[in-house]
Structure 1
């Protein structure tokens, strides 16, 4: 029979109950064989050695009681002397209750097989009614034997039926298991701590934060991974620094001829003022395109993530957009903060608002915290973007309409992804586009 997707399976049950952490699973790997080993040791001891000793001790007591009863049956007139002598030699404490009959006693609560072994031994040696009271006198058991004219009550020390080594062995088994488990837990915690620190550092580095080199610790493989991560961080920092330096030079080299063209236009005769204005506009557009391309190629890797007042950042971006002629409302709760790169996020919001302003009349900007996730939402009442084109507009130089460079959304996704977040394009209820940015807070 085939299982339906999502139906019952042993793997799903195991995954549900198994620990999710490496530390928990490692402890389980140590604990299960340890428990099985101790269980087998207890079973062998309890099933063989303890049972054999219990039968012998119970059989010895039952034989002594049977010997006393046989002697009394052979010489009833000397019953008192026989009781006195057997008590002295067998360490009994015997009382004869004349004209009494056996009473029904509750079931014994003796640990182990000793109660059954004693009852079996007494039945083989006495051949008459009897019962055993296990809790009448502390430290003793009472064997009551029905005689012809009364009841013979015999107190036997419990020590004669139990062996102290059993409890010592039980304490030793539990103690060694606890000691080994504790040592394993301490050792595994040291090993897992190195992996945990490596994971935290990698996550922080991927979100644009610089945790610095981590200290290698733990097993050789974990130390090797930590050292490799430190080398990777250093190579990436060096690469980013070299790329930033190179792009700064490229920016300078590209802007120099544009500056010369601007100066040449400024010295043209007044008769050519119309053409000069068009050429000046072309130069400004070229400078803006160069700045956009360089920003996309450079990224925002040099800026460090810091605790940021998100509410203040959104209000600043909205105010700048209003000065540029946009109609935008900002709604963010007071005191909203998150750890991010403020200038990079300012660029993301500016790009998104500039894109919306070209196609919409009214915009809305807001933010809220959902658990440990910061959600920033930008909405507009424009024509929106068809669902089939939403993924394509995130690719460089792809645009859903004329008038753009095709880099605004690509830059936005690149920066948001460097923060460890994501960006989504959705339909706005009532028409328009909704842009949702989710960032780990």
Structure 2
């Protein structure tokens, strides 16, 4: 039972609309359609069945009356047919020496064909059939008589009532009208939520597209207003932090510059000691630049359409100039909206990290599997010793480098930048040995 219930629940989830608009529309329309179907079945369905039986019984009675008169006195055939035409509205003809033929199924809507056949069977004591299909607006009742076939044309209006169709049109029209009004109203409400979700996702990926206009229900307007306020506060925070870090960078580099000048003006210092102190100052300047880069991020850069193959080629070329052995495989034509300078920094950090551990590096940009793909990947492989699986997550955190003199910020900065683009950075074993850095980014 549990498995059956789980399967049914899974089927219902698959059939239900996934979006808020579709589900809201279903909540509005399903009770309306069910209530109208119940009303049609209970009230008008019973009435229609009863009316159909009575109309069919009336036609069958008139046909039986005329057939009985003809059976009693065949010599008065012409007079009886005239009287039936005047009183019953029949168009009657007698086909001598004919026999009943097999007829196709009727095209009559509802139960009227069965009701008429049942009534004729009850009223007549001889073979008959009913032709529903040959003449428009007319049905033909054929009765087998001793000398041939009596063909009686009966107007369909005697068996159908127009109010049924009016009632059906009214039900369908009101349902469509309510559907249209509900769809317009719900689309307006859902549009505000959709815009809020898209704006939040874009802002989280570094695409600041400006404040959104509050619209829809009051709760949706409040959420949009709160998002705009949050966005403005974050922008002010980033601007203040950037200004503060620029001041710190200036304040720290000024004494280092004075130390460098003081060392240059020391005539009696040993050349080796002088070179070591200059190297220490340069290392301090590099560390300051790395720390500030990590803390500042790239929040002020705006996203733009970027050719990934061209960006990877630039990064690999710069790494080759630094002495790294980098091979690139990247198809042309993949254009992605991202922050190019920030992504350049992330890719450079990953390639530099690979160069410190391996002698050869392979950068691969596979083409997305299909046109509807929502993400793409970049692989950066090296032939180094690799990283044990239990240490990979730790090394993606700041200040967790195991290399002598390392800051532990290269991988952390790369992961932070990739995460800000809505992507993910994972470290895996490279097929054939070494480490693979796998980048996944949204299209």
Flag whether TM exceeds 0.5 (same fold): yes
Aligned partner of 1:232 among 230, 235, 245 = 230
Whether the 8 Å contact between 2:53 and 2:115 is mirrored in structure 1 is yes
Per-residue deviation at 1:286?
Answer: 1.6
Q: CA RMSD in A?
A: 2.7
Aligned partner of 2:63 among 62, 65, 72 = 65
| 3-state SS in 2 of match to 1:390 | helix
- Give TM-score scaled by structure 2 length: 0.89
In the other structure, the counterpart of 1:418 is 420
| 3-state SS in 2 of match to 1:379 | strand
Per-residue deviation at 1:215?
Answer: 1.7
Whether the 8 Å contact between 2:329 and 2:363 is mirrored in structure 1 is yes
1:172-230 Cα deviation digits (max 9, x unpaired) = 22233223223322322222222222222111111111111112222222222222211
Rounded to whole Å, the distance in 2 between the matches of 1:100 and 1:363 is: 97
Structure 1 segment 291-306 matched on structure 2, within 5 A: 291-306=289-304
Per-residue deviation at 1:253?
Answer: 1.8
Whether the 8 Å contact between 2:331 and 2:367 is mirrored in structure 1 is no
Aligned partner of 2:111 among 105, 110, 113 = 113
| 3-state SS in 1 of match to 2:153 | strand
Aligned partner of 2:33 among 22, 32, 35 = 35
Whether the 8 Å contact between 2:202 and 2:208 is mirrored in structure 1 is yes
1:109-159 Cα deviation digits (max 9, x unpaired) = 432222232233334434444433333543222333445555443322221
In the other structure, the counterpart of 2:400 is 398
Say which is worse superposed, 230-239 or 121-130, in terms of deviation: 121-130
Per-residue deviation at 1:98?
Answer: 5.3
In the other structure, the counterpart of 1:200 is 198
Rounded to whole Å, the distance in 2 between the matches of 1:2 and 1:129 is: 58
In the other structure, the counterpart of 1:182 is 180
| 3-state SS in 1 of match to 2:441 | strand
In the other structure, the counterpart of 1:380 is 382
Whether the 8 Å contact between 1:385 and 1:400 is mirrored in structure 2 is no
| Structure 1 gap ranges (5+) | none
In the other structure, the counterpart of 1:263 is 261
Structure 1 segment 2-401 matched on structure 2, within 5 A: 3=3, 9-72=7-70, 78-97=76-95, 102-147=100-145, 151-370=149-368, 371-401=373-403
Distance change (3 Å), C-alpha of 1:364 and 1:133: closer
Whether the 8 Å contact between 2:128 and 2:141 is mirrored in structure 1 is yes
Distance change (3 Å), C-alpha of 1:436 and 1:105: closer
| Structure 2 gap ranges (5+) | none
1:392-412 Cα deviation digits (max 9, x unpaired) = 001111013322011111111
Q: How many residues align?
A: 439
1:326-379 Cα deviation digits (max 9, x unpaired) = 333333334543222122122212222332333322223343442443433222
| 3-state SS in 2 of match to 1:318 | helix
